[in-house]
Amino acid sequence: MRITNEQELDDLMSRPNEADIEAARHLHGDLLILGVAGKMGPSLALRARRAVEQAGVKSRVIGVSRFSSAANRQLLERHGIETISADLLRDDELRALPDCPNLIYMAARKFGSTGDEAYTWAMNTYLPARVADRFQQSRIVAFSSGNVYPLVPVASGGATEETPVQPVGEYAISALGRERMFAYFSALNGTPVTILRLNYAVELRYGVLYDIGRKVFEREVVDLGMGNANVIWQGDANSICYRSLLHASSPPLVLNLTGPETISVRWVAERFGQILGVTPTFSGTESPTALLNNASKCFRLFGYPTVSVDQLIEWIAQWIGSGGRSLGKPTHFEARDGKF
């Protein structure tokens, strides 16, 4: 299989499976997605909309964002997703949003945090508290980050949900603050919540694999300081996110969301090199620790991802080699100091 254009890519990431369709039959009501215009939001909203349609239920999917890109808004509306333009930090605009029994919280800030920490805290901790208070009658899935964990030994298999959190840097600390706010309001109001510690979703236009593949293709040096990582195909992450609405609880259910492998950055670069006909160049040496998550708890609930790392590398190599568009949003997964 070869993905040749963005329409094919968006279709693949948003194509619901039978489990998604069955979930749509049991969610009973509309879905509100806050922060829908980010990297993952459009394909998630499209997948939910298609699951609802194929389930034959009458539920709305509503996406909320500032919509700095009109193209994202038009894409969503073409597929039957209602859109609302709102600045969620404005209390009047937050209060004006419709009540919905199901809510996915994706609004957050990571890159640009260094030097503008106050805004990062407003987006990542203050706003979640306001949302949790406003939608206390909803079922909520809230995205968090694997950055709340410490760097762990590569041979450990990754941090589990029982690993004590130890965030490094203002972004990671504020992401933990987001979790604490949803947990506080869940306890206060009995709001069912699922917290997803994502680390990292990938597709053909961005992500850890794209970052490595682009560097190999453009003959840039690949840094081995963060020598290992976890990734998951964004389509699989979309499915798990949508279905996790049915597992929300009070106190919140916390799940690591990533792929099952601990991948070697060196191996990934060399695999890209084989496909692209380029010999990678490296700097530094692999550290014995890395930011790694163990998602076995998630897989027990939802099954294993459907797309392998090697398949993703082949797709991305073909995409890069044929001049496919980039979202222009590097992950900076190499950062070990928590500064983004």
In a domain, 316, yes or no: no
Tell me, what's the pLDDT at 112? 60
CATH number at residue 116: 3.40.50.720
DSSP annotation of 26:
H
Question: Exposed (0-12), middle (13-18) or buried (19+): which is 288, by Cβ within 10 Å?
Answer: exposed
In a domain, 117, yes or no: yes
- Whether 273 and 216 have beta carbons less than 8 Å apart is answered as yes
- 76, 87, 226, 239, 255 from 31: Cα distances, Å: 14, 19, 37, 14, 21
Tell me, what's the pLDDT at 160? 98
In a domain, 10, yes or no: yes
- Whether 32 and 98 have beta carbons less than 8 Å apart is answered as yes
User: Which regions in the chain score pLDDT beneath 50?
Assistant: none
Q: How much is the pTM?
A: 0.96
Write out the two tokens for 315: 């797709």
How many independent structural domains does the chain possess?
1
Q: 252: domain range?
A: 6-149+157-200+234-259+293-306
In a domain, 107, yes or no: yes
In a domain, 269, yes or no: no
Tell me, what's the pLDDT at 111? 61
Tell me, what's the pLDDT at 339? 77
In a domain, 13, yes or no: yes
In a domain, 251, yes or no: yes
In a domain, 330, yes or no: no
- 99, 181, 295, 316 from 305: Cα distances, Å: 32, 30, 11, 17
Parallel/antiparallel/unpaired status of strands 139-145 and 152-153:
unpaired
Strands (E), 106-210: 139-145, 152-153, 193-198, 201-202
Task: State what percent of residues in the chain have pLDDT above 90.
Answer: 90
Tell me, what's the pLDDT at 164? 98
